[in-house]
């Protein structure tokens, strides 16, 4: 069992949860994820490790309540436990040796981008962060991101906070005014697609973190397959980070929406069974 040591709500839908998970904390690197099962009947939920503390043996996940399991997980409290926390899974982010980087987070993707920005900052890399949200009410991790960035830019679709517009507007401006050798983008698939399209003409290495449907998380089931540079890759063992200029984002969007109806149905069934 993995005990919840800390919990804070970042916005209406997003919760920061720190777990006592010393074996994961000992080995995890930025970019890797865990698979959590709330109880022995629970489904497997892949979640990126948003932060970790090797000395304390803790691992932090940031959960957006979108369906049955993430709502149930978000409702747990300090002192409660989850049955399984398996990991670290996937490959750590390969940063290379950049001199100047831009880290982009969209919505809850900011939580996944946070360890990347922190790692680059700790490596002494000049790091600019662009965080994008639909509106002011759902802005998360601003203080944390500011601490690990040289410049922090925030955009909202409706202009209620920061700059009105999309992360790609700021990205284009930065790429035109300075030279960067790495962009990391994590967020909704369309955002990662358009970030990659924006960086391509500038020839800047662009890493995206993909979130296809995952089942076993060990390369056995094929559920998480994605096309990268015309080759089939399994995001759970070959990723989740990939070269954004090579990813077939349209196929990923189609595959991710494939089970939407079944998930909604299963969610209604489980809710009815559990009352």
Residue 112 sits in the site that holds ligand FAD (CB under 6 A): yes
Q: Which residue, 216 or 270, is less far from ligand FES as judged by CB?
A: 216
Report d(CA 172, CA 198) in Å as an integer: 7
Residue 117 sits in the site that holds ligand FES (CB under 6 A): no
* Min CB(206)–ligand FAD separation in Å: 18
In this chain, which of 219, 227, 245, 255 binds ligand FES, going by CB under 6 A?
Answer: 219
Residue 18 sits in the site that holds ligand FAD (CB under 6 A): no
Q: Which helix (H) or strand (E) holds 144?
A: helix 142-147
Kindly state the number of chain residues that form the binding site for ligand FES, as judged by CB under 6 A: 12
| Segment lying near ligand FAD (by CB under 6 A), choices 22-30, 106-114, 138-146, 188-196 | 106-114
In this chain, which of 95, 153, 180, 234 binds ligand FES, going by CB under 6 A?
Answer: 234
Q: Binding pattern to ligand FES, positions 177-216, x when CB under 6 A?
A: -------------------------------------xxx
Token pair of 63, please?
């959960």
Token pair of 102, please?
């831009």
Residue 111 sits in the site that holds ligand FAD (CB under 6 A): yes
* Min CB(89)–ligand FES separation in Å: 9
In this chain, which of 19, 21, 47, 130 binds ligand FAD, going by CB under 6 A?
Answer: 47
Return all residues near 206 (Cβ < 8 A) that are at least 6 apart: 182, 183, 184, 185, 195, 196, 199, 200, 243, 244, 245
Residues 202-231 that bind ligand FAD (CB under 6 A): 211-214
Report d(CA 152, CA 117) in Å as an integer: 11
* Min CB(90)–ligand FES separation in Å: 9
Alpha-carbon distances, residue 89 vs 6, 25, 48, 240 (angstroms): 23, 12, 9, 9
Residues 146-185 that bind ligand FAD (CB under 6 A): none
Residue 34 sits in the site that holds ligand FES (CB under 6 A): no
Q: Which stretches of the chain are assigned E, i.e. beta strand?
A: 2-9, 14-20, 33-37, 45-53, 58-64, 81-82, 84-89, 100-106, 126-133, 151-156, 163-164, 182-186, 206-209, 225-228, 231-234, 241-243
Kindly state the number of chain residues that form the binding site for ligand FAD, as judged by CB under 6 A: 26
Residue 236 sits in the site that holds ligand FES (CB under 6 A): yes
Give the footprint of ligand FAD on this chain (CB under 6 A).
33, 45-48, 61-64, 66-70, 108, 111-112, 211-214, 240, 256, 260, 263, 267
């Amino acid at each position: 069992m993995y005990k919840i040591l800390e919990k804070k709500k970042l916005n209406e839908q997003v919760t920061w949860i720190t777990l006592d998970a010393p074996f994961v904390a000992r080995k995890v690197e930025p970019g890797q994820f865990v698979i959590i099962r709330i109880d022995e009947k629970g489904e497997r939920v892949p979640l990126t490790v948003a932060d970790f503390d090797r000395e304390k043996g803790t691992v932090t996940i940031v959960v957006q309540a979108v369906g049955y399991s993430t709502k149930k997980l978000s409702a747990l409290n300090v002192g409660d436990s989850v049955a399984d926390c398996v990991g670290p899974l996937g490959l750590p982010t390969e940063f290379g040796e950049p001199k100047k980087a831009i880290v982009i987070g969209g919505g809850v993707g900011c939580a996944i981008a946070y360890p990347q920005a922190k790692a680059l900052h700790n490596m002494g890399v000049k790091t600019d962060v662009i965080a994008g949200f639909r509106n002011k009410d759902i802005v998360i991790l601003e203080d944390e991101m500011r601490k690990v960035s040289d410049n922090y830019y925030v955009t909202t679709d409706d202009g209620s906070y920061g700059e009105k517009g999309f992360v790609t507007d700021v990205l284009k401006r930065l790429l035109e005014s300075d030279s960067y050798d790495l962009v990391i983008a994590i967020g909704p698939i369309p955002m990662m697609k358009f970030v990659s399209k924006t960086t391509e003409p500038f020839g800047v290495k662009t890493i995206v973190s993909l979130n296809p449907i995952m089942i076993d998380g060990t390369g056995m089931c094929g559920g998480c397959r994605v096309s990268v540079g015309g080759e089939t890759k399994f995001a759970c063992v070959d990723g989740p980070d990939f070269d954004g200029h090579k990813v077939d984002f349209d196929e990923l969007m189609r595959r991710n929406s494939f089970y939407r109806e079944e998930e909604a149905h299963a969610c209604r069934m489980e809710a009815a069974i559990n009352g």
